[in-house]
Chain A
Amino acid sequence: MAQKITVIVIERSYLLRSGIEGLLKEFQGMHLAEIYDGTEKNLIQKINTLKPDCVIVNPKAITDSLNTFVRSVNNEATVIGLISGNTADHIKSRFANTLHIKDGKHELMNSLSQIIGRKKNNKAPNKNQPLTERELTVLKNITLGLTNQEVAEKLFLSIHTVMTHRKNITKKLGIKTVSGLTVYALLNKVIDIQDIEQ
């Protein structure tokens, strides 16, 4: 199954909301999880529980400080600003990417597909990846040749915890040996071939 890109939109204007919705429908593998108007209570929490890949937001819809908003959104998500001609530069610069409401369909599609393309590439290593962040870190260090003891010291974990992680990694992946895990890590870009050749 292809990895889906989860999108959240924050915009007050009904016309703009429908417009974005229509635009997103034209992309494959996009999932518009929710549309907010910006006035919802605990907006940040609501957004983060949906684990979005992209948040498209009109800065005018945000009631709190935009700065706080951008910083509080889960850092895995790309925040895309929905801006107009009179949006101030210091606001534009808060966003990783921007979409201009006056742009034509073609330009909008172009910018969106670029943003999504980058997202998908970053997401590719996570395909088939049932491991947690911690397990990934442990896996990475083991496949780079560190012993359990060394991994424990490096990550400030007890050796017992490292062994538990290893056991879980093996159980989840169905791979028992370090060399097998190394192949897995290379195939899934957890590590790079140059890393182990050093």
Chain B
Amino acid sequence: MRIEKDMKLADVIHHDFSLIPVINRFGIHLGFGDGTIEEICIKKSVNTEFFLTILNTYHDPQYFPKKHLQSFHTATLIEYLKKAHQFYTEQKIPEIQNLIFRLTEESAQHKDRYQLALNFFKEYQEEFTRHIDREEKLVYPYIYELEKVIESGKVPEKLIRRMEAYSIMDYEDEHDNVEEKLFDLKNLIIKYLPAPSNESTSYRILLELFDLEKDLREHARIEDMILVPKVEAMEFTIQKMIR
């Protein structure tokens, strides 16, 4: 199903409730009423086209958001990505960590084994934080700078040197797969850790892991397919300005 602006948002959520955290990132919260997507977006001052692009990307893995590329500001995109980061680091990951901790508490018998899973997840958390830090402290400021330079029409010497040393292509290359450890953890729980005394805790952990994994996959897709091409186009513009 392609999500369109004249659909009722409530119907869309009934159809795919995994979109709830996504609409939250736009400041749209449950209890949003009976409006269409367009009506709700206008009320909340959200760019409707952008909102639809993100929703469709999450909803349909085949969806390729090409033609909407140029229609939103970089700032809109980056704000969204930062909100998503916040959701992962402040909500999702601590939740999973608590659940794994509960697992260690519930099974005194296998405590040391579950402790291994907990340490593993902590390591993942650190790695993930580093990844996000890099994006927010290095990549995004670089993009803002490109935008400023294009608006002003003047290319400072410093930026030319910086572009030579680092371009968004490098980011694409080093955009490592942050889901790998989640995949491992799922298999450790499914196949190799001892049976838990409380099955429902393990089940909830798995639900959360599948959920986070999917969210991160779409997040990386948005970065690779919307952010990166947009920045490539900006770099290209600037290179033409120098010549």
Contact = CB atoms under 8 A, between A and B. Distances in A.
Interface residues of B, number: 16
Interface of A: 128, 173-177, 179-180, 183-184, 186-188
B192 A186 contact: no
A2 to B, nearest CB: 14
Given A176-B180, A177-B181, A179-B120, A187 B187 contact: no
B113 interface: yes
A188 B120 CA distance: 16
A187 B124 CA distance: 18
A175 B188 contact: yes
B224 interface: no
A187 to B, nearest CB: 5
B183 A184 contact: no
Contacts, number: 43
A193 to B, nearest CB: 8
A35 to B, nearest CB: 37
A186 B119 CA distance: 13
Contacts of B117: 183
Interface centre among B117, B183, B184, B188 (most CB of A within 10 A): B184
Contacts of A186: 116
A187 B185 CA distance: 13
A176 B183 CA distance: 8
Given A179-B120, A183-B117, A184-B188, 14 more contacts: A173-B187, A173-B191, A174-B184, A174-B191, A179-B124, A179-B184, A180-B120, A180-B181, A180-B187, A183-B120, A183-B188, A183-B192, A187-B193, A188-B192
A187 B192 contact: yes
Nearest 8 CB-CB pairings of A with B: A180-B184, A174-B187, A176-B180, A175-B184, A183-B116, A183-B120, A187-B192, A177-B180
A187 B187 CA distance: 13
B113 A187 contact: yes
Nearest to B113: A187
B116 A176 contact: no
A145 to B, nearest CB: 14
